[in-house]
């Protein structure tokens, strides 16, 4: 996967673990969930630095209030009724 500057993004997190979701799927999912009111979040950008080249780039990020539990987070998804198409 590539950053906007054309360099490849690492497939692993900085701590060596695999991401739980493909990086390219995160923004479309967050846009989908926010648009349907399933997640109350505001999109922003954060400046990151390529560890190899030292170049900086902007990456999407989201700001939201933490929830009390995983169950509280999942509750809106559990009750979501997709529109019939």
Q: What is the pLDDT of residues 38-78, one digit of tens each?
A: 999 999 999 988 878 888 988 889 998 888 999 998 899 89
pLDDT of residue 1: 44
Read off the pTM: 0.69
- What mean pLDDT is reported for the chain? 84
Q: Please say whether the dihedral angle defined by the alpha carbons of residues 69, 21, 13 and 6, taken in this order, is positive or negative.
A: negative
Q: How confident is the model at residue 2 (pLDDT cuts 50, 70, 90)?
A: very low
Which residues are CB-contacts of 8 (< 8 A; sequence separation ≥ 6)? 1, 2
């Amino acid at each position: 996967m590539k950053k906007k500057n054309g360099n490849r993004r690492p497939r692993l997190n900085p701590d060596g673990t695999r991401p739980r979701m493909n990086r390219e799927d995160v923004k479309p999912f967050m846009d989908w969930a926010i648009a349907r009111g399933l997640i109350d979040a505001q999109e922003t950008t954060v400046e990151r630095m390529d560890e190899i080249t030292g170049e900086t780039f902007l990456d999407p990020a989201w700001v939201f209030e933490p929830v009390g539990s995983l169950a509280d987070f999942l509750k809106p998804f559990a009750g979501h009724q997709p529109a019939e198409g």
